Amino acid sequence: MNGGDIVKFFSLLRVEIGRLLCRRLTWWFLLLTVASPFMGLFFYCPIKGSVTGTYLGNPVLAGALIGAVLFALLTALELDRIYRTHTNLLIEAMTTPMIASLCKTLSILFVVGLAQAIMLAVWLPFSIVKIGAVFRLWRYFSVYLSVLLPAMIFAVFFTACVYQIVQRLDLTIILDGAFVVFSMTIWSEDWLLRWVNPAISYLSDDFSIARTLQSVLYNRLFWLLLLSGFWCFSFLCVRRYGKNVIGSFRRNFRRLALPIFAIIFFAVGKVVYAEQPFVDHSKAELDNPDFYNINYNDFVTYSKIHVDAKPNFLTGSHFGICTIPLRNESGMTQTISFWLNPGYQVSKVTVNKIDVPFRSLDNDEQNQNTIEIDLPADKELELVMEYGGFPKEWNILSTMQGSAIQISQEGMVLANQDFSPIPRDIVDGTDTLSPFTATIALPAKMNLVAFGNATTTRIDKNADGTVNWKVEDVGGSTIIYAGDYVSQSMKAAGIQIEFLYSEKHQRIMEEYNVKQVLTDVFDYCTTHYGALSFYEDGKLKLIETGNGGGYAGNGASVMGEDSFSEEGFRDPMKGTGGREVLAHEIVHQWWGLGNMFDSSDLSDPWSSEGLTVYTTYRMMKERHGAAYAQQNYIDKWQEQVDGYYQNFYVQHPEFLDDLPEKYQIDMKNSITNMRQYCEMPLKIWKAEQLVGGEAKMDEILRELFTREIDYSYPYLTFQNFLDACGLTEEDLNLD
Amino acid sequence: MIKIYFYELRQTVYSKFYLGLLILYLCYAWLTLNSSIIQGVGNTAPFSSWSFGFYLVQQAPLMSLAFLILQWRLVSSKAKAVRILTNATLIDSRKYLLLQYMAISTAWVLLACCVVVLGMLFLFYLFGYAVSLIALLLPTLIVLFPLLIFLMGLFWLICIKQTKRCQKITRGDLTF
- Give the tens place of pLDDT for each residue, B127-161: 888 888 888 999 999 999 999 999 888 887 877 77
Percentage of residues in chain A having pLDDT higher than 90? 48
- Give the 3-state secondary structure of A566-582: CCHHHCCCCCCCHHHHH
How remote is the C-alpha of A586 from its chain's centroid? 23
Rounded to an integer, what distance in angstroms lies between the CA atom of residue A51 and that of residue A31? 26
Query: Is pLDDT at A640 greater than 90 in this prediction?
Result: no
Q: Are A564 and A505 in contact (CB under 8 A)?
A: yes
In chain A, which residue's Cα lies nearest the Cα of B17? Answer: A25
Query: Is pLDDT at B176 greater than 50 in this prediction?
Result: no
Compute the Cα dihedral for A661, A667, A670, A676 and give only its sign. negative
**Contact state of B44 with A663 under an 8 Å Cβ cutoff:** no
What number of other Cβ atoms are within 10 A of residue A201's Cβ?
19
pLDDT for residue A85 = 82
pLDDT for residue A465 = 87
Q: Are A449 and A478 in contact (CB under 8 A)?
A: no
**Contact state of A666 with B40 under an 8 Å Cβ cutoff:** no
**Contact state of A670 with B39 under an 8 Å Cβ cutoff:** yes
pLDDT for residue B166 = 60
| Residue in B123, B131, B42, B51 with CA at minimum distance from that of residue A646 | B42
Rounded to an integer, what distance in angstroms lies between the CA atom of residue A695 and that of residue A691? 10
Mean pLDDT, residues A122-138 taken together: 91
pLDDT for residue B171 = 56
**Contact state of B130 with A660 under an 8 Å Cβ cutoff:** no
For chain B, give the mean pLDDT: 83
pLDDT class of B175 with cuts at 50, 70, 90: very low
pLDDT class of B174 with cuts at 50, 70, 90: very low
In chain A, which residue's Cα lies nearest the Cα of B20? Answer: A28
pLDDT for residue B24 = 86
pLDDT for residue B163 = 65
Query: Is pLDDT at A113 greater than 90 in this prediction?
Result: yes
pLDDT for residue A1 = 59
| Residue in A178, A281, A274 with CA at minimum distance from that of residue A218 | A274
Q: How far is CA B53 from CA A46, A587, B109, B137, B154, in A?
A: 31, 44, 17, 9, 23
Mean pLDDT, residues A403-414 taken together: 89
Query: Is pLDDT at A649 greater than 70 in this prediction?
Result: yes
pLDDT for residue A643 = 84
In chain A, which residue's Cα lies nearest the Cα of B126? Answer: A659
- Chain A residue numbers with beta carbons less than 8 Å from the beta carbon of B43 are 643, 646-648, 651
Lowest mean pLDDT among A10-24, A227-241, A502-516: A502-516
Mean pLDDT, residues A528-542 taken together: 78
Rounded to an integer, what distance in angstroms lies between the CA atom of residue A655 and that of residue A653? 5
pLDDT for residue A682 = 93
Cβ neighbours of residue A463 closer than 8 Å, sequence gap 6 or more = none
In chain A, which residue's Cα lies nearest the Cα of B35? Answer: A666
Of B31, B44, B126, the CB nearest to A648: B44
Mean pLDDT, residues B1-8 taken together: 85
- Give the tens place of pLDDT for each residue, A152-165: 999 999 999 999 98
- Give the tens place of pLDDT for each residue, A32-78: 999 999 999 988 888 887 889 999 999 999 999 999 999 999 999 99
Q: Which residues of B touch A (CB under 8 A)?
A: 31, 38-40, 43-46, 126-127, 130
Rounded to an integer, what distance in angstroms lies between the CA atom of residue A377 and that of residue A515? 57
- Give the 3-state secondary structure of chain B: CHHHHHHHHHHHHCCHHHHHHHHHHHHHHHHHHHHCHHHCCCCCCCCCHHHHHHHHHHHHHHHHHHHHHHHHHHHCHHHHHHHHHHCCCCCCHHHHHHHHHHHHHHHHHHHHHHHHHHHHHHHHHHHHHHCCHHHHHHHHHHHHHHHHHHHHHHHHHHHHHHHHHHHHHHHCCCCC
pLDDT for residue A671 = 80
User: A207 exposed, middle or buried (CB, 10 Å; 0-12, 13-18, 19+)?
Assistant: buried
**Contact state of B43 with A647 under an 8 Å Cβ cutoff:** yes
- Give the tens place of pLDDT for each residue, A417-431: 999 999 999 988 888
In chain B, which residue's Cα lies nearest the Cα of A24? Answer: B17
In chain A, which residue's Cα lies nearest the Cα of B33? Answer: A663
- Chain B residue numbers with beta carbons less than 8 Å from the beta carbon of A647 are 39-40, 43
- Chain B residue numbers with beta carbons less than 8 Å from the beta carbon of A663 are 38, 126
Rounded to an integer, what distance in angstroms lies between the CA atom of residue A428 and that of residue A303? 6
Query: Is pLDDT at A227 greater than 50 in this prediction?
Result: yes
Of B31, B43, B126, the CB nearest to A648: B43
Query: Is pLDDT at A170 greater than 80 in this prediction?
Result: yes
Q: Are A550 and A194 in contact (CB under 8 A)?
A: no
For chain A, give the mean pLDDT: 88
- Give the tens place of pLDDT for each residue, A655-711: 888 888 877 877 777 788 888 889 999 999 999 999 988 999 999 999 988 888 777
Query: Is pLDDT at B11 greater than 80 in this prediction?
Result: yes
Q: Are A702 and A665 in contact (CB under 8 A)?
A: no
Cβ neighbours of residue A212 closer than 8 Å, sequence gap 6 or more = A200, A202, A203, A401, A402
pLDDT class of A479 with cuts at 50, 70, 90: very high
**Contact state of B45 with A648 under an 8 Å Cβ cutoff:** yes
- Give the tens place of pLDDT for each residue, B59-82: 888 888 888 888 877 777 777 777
Mutation site for B-interface testing, chosen from A69, A648, A649, A656 by largest number of B Cβ within 10 Å: A648
pLDDT for residue B61 = 87
Query: Is pLDDT at B99 greater than 60 in this prediction?
Result: yes
pTM of the predicted protein model:
0.75
- Chain A residue numbers with beta carbons less than 8 Å from the beta carbon of B38 are 663, 666-667
In chain B, which residue's Cα lies nearest the Cα of A660? Answer: B126
- Chain A residue numbers with beta carbons less than 8 Å from the beta carbon of B36 are none
Mutation site for A-interface testing, chosen from B39, B78, B126 by largest number of A Cβ within 10 Å: B39
Query: Is pLDDT at A619 greater than 80 in this prediction?
Result: yes
- Give the tens place of pLDDT for each residue, A547-557: 766 666 777 78
Give the closest-approach CA distance of A45 to chain B in angstroms. 14
pLDDT class of A574 with cuts at 50, 70, 90: low
Lowest mean pLDDT among A446-450, A580-584, A603-607, A714-718: A580-584
- Give the tens place of pLDDT for each residue, A276-289: 999 999 887 766 77
Q: Are B117 and B144 in contact (CB under 8 A)?
A: no
**Contact state of A658 with B127 under an 8 Å Cβ cutoff:** yes
- Chain B residue numbers with beta carbons less than 8 Å from the beta carbon of A66 are none
